[in-house]
Amino acid sequence: MAEKNKVAMTFMDHLRELLTRLRTILYAVIISTVIAMLVPVNLDFLTVSSENPFYATITSQVIRNLEDRFRPAGAELLPLSPLAPAEVYFFVSIILGILISSPVISYELYKFINPALHKHERKDALQFVAAFAGLFIFGFALGYLFIVPMTMRVLFFFADLLDLPPWYDFSAFFSTIGFSLLLCGLIFTFPTYIVLLVKAGILKTRLITKNRKYLYGGLLVLIAILDPEPGLITESVVFIPLVILTEVSIFIAKRIEKARIQS
């Protein structure tokens, strides 16, 4: 009975609904960013004084953690512009704001597309979002623990090889780390697109298996281009897990095709 009482939404209705969802997302990101910028990591204010009126925030703690983890011993980060420290602080705060508010972002986007989906499509959408988020977190963690540290060590090695002073731009250092971690997360979401395209009937698994060598060759070339390290160390750390995940996605896609034929 409720289905019969539904009234088709007009374009303007959809537009207003979208703007409402985007406004909620924007508010969530802004509030989360402010929290990261201002909320202290602990309640110990004994070190705060008139001479040192600052306290450790979530953002400052993350910046220090990244610096301690990725800056090699003996290297020095220099703010070449007076605005560099503020730029890095706001950049990291916004990234943290997006991460903190990601549940709200996912919920609002899902609620926007949910009325247009059938029951089985809603299940598929939730599975895709869960798989995408899981693989992104896996790639991000792998980048944080192994890929980016090795890449930064190799990059700094060339400075030592050319006998250059270990002085580096503060802003460039953090932008390189930030975009490298983001890239690691996005690369590992690749298998989800295979399953999605097969499920939509756009791609056949037979075509994938027939051209495996071209697929993996293209992935290896893409990783080599996107990775700033010219060697094969980090490429192997990225490539091997990606191949395993791709093979798992092909296996899942074959089961989807088999179930579609049987039905």
Q: What is the pLDDT along the chain (263 residues), one digit of tens a residue?
A: 444 444 566 778 878 888 999 999 999 999 999 999 999 887 665 555 555 557 789 999 999 999 999 988 788 899 988 899 999 999 999 989 998 998 898 888 878 877 766 777 677 778 888 888 889 889 989 989 988 888 888 778 888 888 888 888 999 899 888 888 888 888 899 999 898 888 878 889 999 999 988 999 988 887 777 665 545 666 777 888 899 999 999 999 999 888 888 77
User: Among 29, 196, 36, 10, which residue's Cα sits nearest to residue 108?
Assistant: 29
Asked if residue 214 and residue 132 are part of one domain, the reply reads yes
Asked if residue 242 and residue 150 are part of one domain, the reply reads yes
Asked if residue 243 and residue 173 are part of one domain, the reply reads yes
Asked if residue 245 and residue 224 are part of one domain, the reply reads yes
Asked if residue 142 and residue 93 are part of one domain, the reply reads no
Segments forming the whole domain that contains residue 81: 1-116
Do the Cβ atoms of 132 and 227 come closer than 8 Å? Answer: no
Asked if residue 124 and residue 111 are part of one domain, the reply reads no
Asked if residue 101 and residue 168 are part of one domain, the reply reads no
Q: What is the pTM of this model?
A: 0.78
Domain boundary among 116, 149, 169: 116
Domain boundary among 116, 133, 149: 116
Domain boundary among 82, 116, 150: 116
Q: State how many domains the chain has.
A: 2
Asked if residue 105 and residue 149 are part of one domain, the reply reads no
Asked if residue 152 and residue 87 are part of one domain, the reply reads no
Here the tokens at position 58 are 């979530």
Here the tokens at position 91 are 């950049």
Here the tokens at position 258 are 């088999």
Asked if residue 131 and residue 259 are part of one domain, the reply reads yes
Asked if residue 262 and residue 137 are part of one domain, the reply reads yes
Asked if residue 182 and residue 124 are part of one domain, the reply reads yes
